[in-house]
Chain A
Amino acid sequence: MKIGLFIPCYVNAIFPQVGVASYQLLKKLGLDVDYPIDQTCCGQPMANAGFEDEAKKLAMRFESQFEKYDYIVGPSASCVSFVKENYPRVLKKEKHLCESIGKIYDICEFIHDVVKPNSLNASFPHKVSIHNSCHGVRELFLSTPSEMNIPYNNKLRNLLNLVNDIEIFEPKHIDECCGFGGMFAVEEQAVSTAMGRDKVKDHMSTGAEYITGADGSCMMHMKGVIDREKWPIKTIHVVEILNSEG
């Protein structure tokens, strides 16, 4: 199977190491991975701000970039779910049938559901608190939404359980929003910051050294709070942990 690596714009610019870890992890798992160059953005920032039409051309470009791959895999649950949830409708306006939705996965979802490794040969001797991000939880079901009455499962936890020497925690408000929300973070800066502070404090109360999750954008937001407050906790993408040396 041929995998096209999807590196969202902010990962490209701010967290390239997450892209590197994603590529390496998939390679370690023995997969055929390629990075179609000239990717830019999925269009979510504009669309969430109310300008979905600005994403039409980006969606068309995305489709052609990943046309030749069996799977599209990216280290950002929110961007992946944006493509999944909205591209079919956006592309319908262009009279184009969306092909990406059937084959796009968040990288954790992909490893958990498709690759299904029994071991990872990774080690991370630290306490981590899982950040169950909104779109990862409520659109991709990476973990069971806390609102629902079905047995709890958490794909990130299942994967992290394969890592040696790690201690895993989850915050009390297990999947409450960190307040990022794209343009929301600036348009509603006061509420957004309050949400970010509460979320980081909740993660810290677990005793964790790291906040980890499948969405770098949430991590970016919480890091903004942590750096401002100089709080004793760090952020790390879950892929970096899964790719850590055993």
Chain B
Amino acid sequence: MSTAHSKAAEKFLKNSQQAEWHNETLWMVRAKRDKLSKQVPEWEELRNNAEALKLYSSSHWVELLTEFEKNAIANGAVVHWAKDAQEYREIVYQLLSERNVKNFVKSKSMLSEECELDDYLIERGIDTVETDLGECILQLMKLPPSHIVLPAIHIKREQVGELFEEKLNTEKGNFDPTYLTHQARKYLRQIFLNADASMTGGNFAVASTGEVVVCTNEGNADMGTAATDFHIAAFGLDKIVPDRESLGVFTRLLARSATGQPITSYTAHYSKPKKNGEFHIIIVDNGRSEILGNEEHRKVLNCIRCGACMNTCPVYRRSGGYSYSYFIPGPIGINLGMAHAPNKHAGNLSACSLCLSCSMVCPAKVDLGEQIYKWRQKLDELGESNTTKKILSKGMKLVMDNPALFNAALWAAPMVNKMPRFMVYNKLNAWGEGRDLPQFASESFNSMWKRNKVQLNDNKKDNE
């Protein structure tokens, strides 16, 4: 009855020390988020406002995005529209190749991961470097991110040290984080200085001003855009917010939810090109308008990519980012994967105990757990339901629909208690791998009630 996720999770948990560390480290981030969010008395009101603003924005994409475009053009930017990943990649490549760009620096953009931009450009001869430290480490390791805010959270400093020894010629055996960070900084500084063009994503796009807002902690986005005269910013349709006032709601929620900081170290508003430079904006759909048309699931478009749902998710913390098939893991990744390509990512749906902590932690009130429940109801229709689970559910229904059968089962159940251990605990019993089975009571409540034992007990007490 295992799924793609459960198999990968089992493998992840085999290294129990690493798994425990992963769980505890991400819980610390959740705890930091709790502390910071509790310092804002109007936190729940902010969440309500964020939810309302996102729902408003999603239902006014046409108006807000055209307003954004008009203002961005007036600021001197060039605006492009991409209907899918292919168009997005082609636009970026065309812009770069027309200007003969060879060295391209990027700050973190989950959209570029979604559209698999880096490999596309590198294959075409453009040296594309990720400059966010976590992303940079992963690019050197040729690995994808395992978390959307803390992409290299699963990598230990010893591994980084060894990687840098090989790639950056650092001192052998020096795994001191400060030393390693300085070495990365030295390496990246040269890359920035040699860059011909830069790219950022966009955390928010403000319709009333035509600005793209980028929130980072390392300042690498600002380094890239300062070092080059040619800047491309790309964002998905769902990043649009009406105005600066509404932007304030989100910037107050984002860093507190993501990392437990009051605000990111840098919040850059990009609106116009540098003197003699160029500023291009790409607005990408890539399936978003289709999600908007899906009434049960459109609320995933509220997501501001803070990662709080991952940090709180007891399953994500104990299974790691790579146990999910979609490039975004955790509760939001399960949902976005299903919204984009259900048959490809149905194997992630098991990764949820429906504890609903994700729905409660989400700053934009995406009903993440509830949506996972809804997706599960579609599995059969999608041809992705598990046969054992289906038989179990149908069998259970048969018994439960019929009180006589249920009572017979209640009567027979205690016999399982007496079965030899090898018959109960074997490969067919997934529960029994790490836990003992519950013991059935020698007499069920139904039987006790029918034989007046429940009531008698009570009368006896009354008489005492």
Contact = CB atoms under 8 A, between A and B. Distances in A.
A84 B318 CA distance: 30
A51 B390 contact: yes
Interface string B379-420: 110000110011011101101111100100110010000000
B11 to A, nearest CB: 9
A57 interface: yes
10 nearest A-B residue pairs (beta carbon): A181-B353, A224-B435, A193-B434, A50-B376, A177-B355, A227-B436, A147-B360, A149-B43, A19-B445, A16-B445
Interface centre among B2, B10, B446, by most chain A C-beta atoms within 10 angstroms, is B446
Interface string B340-352: 0000000001111
A203 interface: no
B400 A13 contact: no
A196 B430 contact: no
B360 A20 contact: no
A176 B406 contact: no
B356 A138 contact: yes
B389 A50 contact: yes
A188 B351 contact: yes
9 contacts: A50-B349, A50-B376, A51-B390, A134-B355, A145-B360, A149-B41, A187-B1, A191-B315, A195-B318
Interface of B: 1-3, 5-6, 9-10, 13, 19, 23, 27, 34, 37-38, 40-41, 43-44, 312, 314-315, 318-319, 349-357, 359-361, 373, 376-380, 385-386, 389-390, 392-394, 396-397, 399-403, 406, 409-410, 413, 430-431, 433-441, 443-446, 448-450, 453-455, 457-458, 461
A63 interface: no
A91 interface: no
A40 B44 contact: no
Contacts of B318: 191, 194-195
A224 to B, nearest CB: 3
Contacts of B373: 47-48
Counting chain A residues whose Cβ lies within 8 A of the other chain, the interface size class is: 35 or more
A181 B355 contact: yes
Given A51-B389, A176-B355, 13 more contacts: A11-B445, A13-B413, A16-B444, A35-B454, A40-B400, A48-B376, A50-B379, A51-B390, A150-B44, A177-B353, A184-B354, A189-B434, A224-B436
Interface of A: 7, 9-17, 19-20, 23-24, 27, 35, 37-41, 43, 45-55, 57-58, 61, 134-135, 138-139, 145-150, 173, 175-177, 179-198, 220-221, 223-225, 227-228
B291 to A, nearest CB: 21
A189 B6 contact: yes
Contact of A24 (B357, B413, B458): B458
Contacts of A20: 445, 448, 453-454, 457
B458 A176 contact: no
B432 to A, nearest CB: 9
B390 to A, nearest CB: 7
Contacts of B6: 187-191
B360 A148 contact: yes
A181 B352 contact: yes
A183 B312 contact: no
B389 A49 contact: yes
A46 B350 contact: no
Given A13-B444, A145-B360, A224-B435, A57 B430 contact: no
A190 B9 contact: yes
Given A7-B445, A13-B413, A220-B438, A191 B13 contact: yes
B396 A45 contact: yes
A18 to B, nearest CB: 8
Mostly, the A contact residues are helix
Nearest to B436: A227
B9 A43 contact: no
State the main secondary structure of chain B at its contact with A. Answer: helix
Contacts of A47: 373, 377
B444 to A, nearest CB: 5
A184 B417 CA distance: 23
Nearest to B369: A138
Contacts of B2: 187
A131 to B, nearest CB: 13
Given A19-B445, A195-B318, A224-B431, A147 B350 contact: no
A220 to B, nearest CB: 5
Residue from A146, A190, A220 having most chain B Cβ neighbours under 10 A: A190
Nearest to A190: B10
A58 B444 contact: no
Contacts of A35: 449, 454
Contacts of B376: 48-50
Nearest to A60: B401
Nearest to B315: A191
Nearest to A145: B360
A45 B3 CA distance: 18
Contacts of B359: 138
Contacts of A48: 354, 373, 376
B403 A13 contact: no
Nearest to A14: B438
Contacts of A184: 350, 352-354
A123 to B, nearest CB: 15
Contact of A54 (B1, B397, B430, B453): B397
Contacts of A39: 403, 446
Given A24-B461, A46-B393, A48-B373, A228 B356 contact: no
B350 A13 contact: no
A228 B353 CA distance: 21
Given A45-B396, A194-B318, A224-B431, A19 B406 contact: no
A149 to B, nearest CB: 4
B360 to A, nearest CB: 4
B431 A186 contact: yes
A185 B437 CA distance: 12
B145 to A, nearest CB: 21
A195 B314 contact: yes
Contacts of A188: 3, 5-6, 9, 315, 350-351, 353
Given A48-B373, A220-B438, A41 B353 contact: no
- Of the candidates B38, B41, B373, the one having the most CB atoms from chain A within 10 angstroms of its own CB is B373
Contacts of A40: 399-403, 406
A225 B436 CA distance: 6
